[in-house]
Structure 1
Amino acid sequence: MKKDIILSGVGGQGILSIATVIGKAALKEGLYMKQAEVHGMSQRGGDVQSNLRISDQPIASDLIPSGKCDLIISLEPMEGLRYLPYLSPNGWLVTNETPFVNIPNYPEADKVMA
């Protein structure tokens, strides 16, 4: 069993807290886990992302290759789109539909969700 998960959002939404909870749950179940984080200007609503790799076998790298992610959980719609190139053909994108509008030219919601 191996699952590659990307958590994405903006600063203040709790991405790193969610990653910690999932990681601790995996370790408690006796699974191997690697995690990598990207902190944008998180205090100002910047990009925050975490790669979580969970497996019943040892894991060599903490980074998820393009096209190999099983699940993207995004707390912000545009941030979910940012990581679509990482999603595997059979992967899932789960996103919050309510945008965190932190830029003046944020696209209309129907265009983001299309």
Structure 2
Amino acid sequence: MKYDIILCGVGGQGVLSVAAIIARAAMMSGLEVRQSEVHGMAQRGGAVQADLRISDGPIPGDLIAKGRADMILSMEPLESLRYVDFLSERGSVVTSDHCEINIPDYPEKQAIFSSISSFGRALTIPADALALTAGSARSANMVLVGAASFHLPIEFSTMEEAVRERFASKGELVVETNLKALSLGRDVAEAGSRRRSG
């Protein structure tokens, strides 16, 4: 088994936190993990991207080849389109529906979402709205992790454990908010899967 994920977004959206939580959950599950360095602008608004590779056996390198990614997990919809050449034929796209308009010639939103929906296994999540439901706008990235978890070869309870561990130092309220965001994202992904199969 192997599962390759391209994580992307813009600075300030927590791409590194997302990668760390998924990697930790995979390690808790006894899986091998390789991650590329995060590439891009560290400051708020600059593009950020990382490769995360999970396997039950040795992983030969950190980088994902074109056409081999099982998932693009994007905190920002336009960023997901930058990496579609890396997506495998059966790969999934999970992205937020919130556009971070950080460049003067940012494309028309509907064109972005039309392009994303052309992929058979694409899910656009109202991550910001669900994060507010969970109790904090800052938990939008955990909503996306929850949605992605539906496809990952990791038990959801292990994902919850990794989230709890990650935020433990910030207090129980922050932990519970992020766990709720994770669960809300998972619920949306499960509902979307039922609609597609029904």
TM-score past 0.5 threshold: yes
What one-letter code is carried by the residue in structure 2 that aligns with 1:48? V
Partner of 1:16: 16
Which shifted more, 44-53 or 56-65? 44-53
Partner of 1:38: 38
What one-letter code is carried by the residue in structure 2 that aligns with 1:21? I
Alignment partners' CA distance in 1, 2:39 and 2:2: 25
Partner of 1:63: 63
**Aligned counterparts, 1:24-103, within 5 A:** 24-103=24-103
Could you report, residue by residue, the CA deviation over 1:37-74 in whole angstroms, capped at 9, with x for unpaired residues? 33322204111111110000010101000000001111
The CA RMSD over aligned residues, in Å, is: 0.9
TM-score norm. by structure 1 comes to: 0.96
The structure where strand makes up a greater share of residues is 1
Query: 3-state SS of the aligned residue for 2:54?
Result: strand
Which shifted more, 35-44 or 19-28? 35-44
Task: Calculate percent identity across the aligned residue pairs.
Answer: 55
Alignment partners' CA distance in 1, 2:46 and 2:38: 10
TM-score norm. by structure 2 comes to: 0.56
CA contact (8 A) 2:32 2:59 kept: yes
Partner of 2:127: none
Query: 3-state SS of the aligned residue for 2:67?
Result: coil
The structure where helix makes up a greater share of residues is 2
CA contact (8 A) 1:8 1:48 kept: yes
Task: Provide structure 1 residue ranges, at least 5 long, that are not aligned to the other structure.
Answer: none
Q: Which has the larger radius of gyration?
A: 2
Alignment partners' CA distance in 2, 1:66 and 1:8: 15
Query: 3-state SS of the aligned residue for 2:43?
Result: helix
Structure 1 segments, 4+ long, off by >4 Å, are: none
What one-letter code is carried by the residue in structure 2 that aligns with 1:79? E
